[in-house]
Amino acid sequence: FSERKNRNKMEFEFNREKSSFIKVLKGKCEKNALKCSVEDNKIMIETFANSEGKLEDTIPAVFKGTIEAKENKTSIKGRFTNGFYLTTLVAVAAILIIARLSWSIYQKQLDNIIMCAIATAILVIVCVVVNIKGKKTKERIITLLKQLQ
C-alpha cells in the first residue's frame, strides 16, 4: 500500500488484483457506513443516510476517482468533493455580493456597503466551518483506504 497527495488529488496503490480488491472494498465500506460504487473504471465512496434518514456525519464527503489494474496491483486516483455544490453556491453568492457592493459604492449607500461586508463575512465563516467539519468524513474514508492492505 502506498499513498500520494498532490493538491486535492490523492492516489492509493494496493497489492491486490482489481476484482478481489473491489469485493473487499465494498465489504469494508458497508461495515463502516459508507457507500461504494464502481462502474467501469470509476469509483465513488460516500456517506449515506442511515435508517432514520440522518446523515452519519455532519458534512457529507464524496471521494470520486478512477480505479486501474496494473499486473497484480490496483491503484485508485481521485479527489474529495462535498456532498453538495458548495463551490458553485459560493461563486454565485460572491458574484451577487460584488455586484451589489459595486452598485452601492456607485450610489454611495453606506448601509448596503455594510450589509455586503456582513454577507461576505458570513460566507467566509460558512466555508471555513464546512471545511473543518468535512475533515472528519474525509478522514474516515482515508482511514478505510489505508486499512485495505
pLDDT tens per residue, range 4-61: 555 568 888 888 888 888 999 999 988 888 889 999 889 999 886 554 555 555 677 8
Three-state SS at 79: strand
Global pTM exceeds 0.75: no
d(CA 123, CA 144): 32
Backbone angles phi, psi at 124, to 5 degrees: -65, -45
Give 106-126 pLDDT, tens digit per residue. Answer: 999 999 899 999 999 999 898
113 grid coordinates: 456597503
| Contact yes or no for 75/11 (Cβ under 8 A) | yes
Give 72-88 pLDDT, tens digit per residue. Answer: 888 999 988 876 677 78
